[in-house]
Amino acid sequence: MGKHTRREGTIDYSEEYKQFMDRLDAFHRKHGTVLNREPVLGSQRLDLLKVYKLVTAHGGCEKVTQERGWKKITLPFNFPPTCTNSAYVMKSVYVKNLELFEQEDFFGREVPVNQHDPPESNITRSREGESMQQETFRPPYFHRNCMAEFMGLIYGSYEAKQGGFVPGGASLHSMMTPHGPDAATFDKATVAELKPQYIAAGTQAFMFESSLQLQPTHWAIKESGKVQQDYYKAWQGLKSNFNPNWKPKA
């Protein structure tokens, strides 16, 4: 591998581009939404005018989605082979920045002003206290998020991961990446007596979520030497416990 270089993309800062971005920016300010003017995909800054022209030339966002054509939309950008989720990210970029604008600008439909737009990001921290659930699985369950989830541990230990997640460490689960407790935590929780348990004592974890895609730096992934290469092994010991005849207690 040669020295890492960041691709600057192929944005043509023409007068047409500037006028388009001014219209797009005005639309987002009118609707109280956030515009990412130069989203990054495959280390390239995306030209939103170019993306918009490609999608509308194929009939718009809804039609491209129905025909599963987002991969075709990415082809003119020549993303590297390592960018395996380019179609998914391209669709996410379009939906967030251009889909509503398309309805008004391309189709001529009235788009109501949204006064209750969901937050772009939020942050929370663990709080010690009693876990009181009954007849259910107590640690954080296996799930996927529509937001990118960055979690860190300041001190102590995290209840859903018995090993590998040390103070000063962090994890990043991008949008729709499945994750949950490791095998050791699962085994421990399934045999634990269902009585109130005091949790998160002597520990401090935090979680930052965002509807924007979070992109680790090249240094973090390739040069820091801090990436846990065997992270996936946390779930290797999980066994299937599905019982089609199980019913909750009356």
Computed from CA positions of residues 22, 28, 32, 35, in that sequence, does the dihedral angle turn out positive or negative?
Answer: negative
- Nearest Cα neighbor of 107 from 67, 66, 59, 73 is 59
How many angstroms separate the CA atoms of 62 and 91, rounded?
10
**Torsion-angle region of residue 209: left (phi > 0), alpha (psi -120 to 50) or beta?**
beta
How many angstroms separate the CA atoms of 237 and 1, rounded?
34
Annotated binding site for homogentisate: 158, 179
- Nearest Cα neighbor of 237 from 175, 199, 178, 188 is 188
Annotated binding site for Fe cation: 143, 149, 179
Q: How many CB atoms lie within 10 A of CB 60?
A: 16
**Rounded to 5°, angle at Cα 7 from 13 and 33:** 55
Annotated binding site: 143, 149, 158, 179
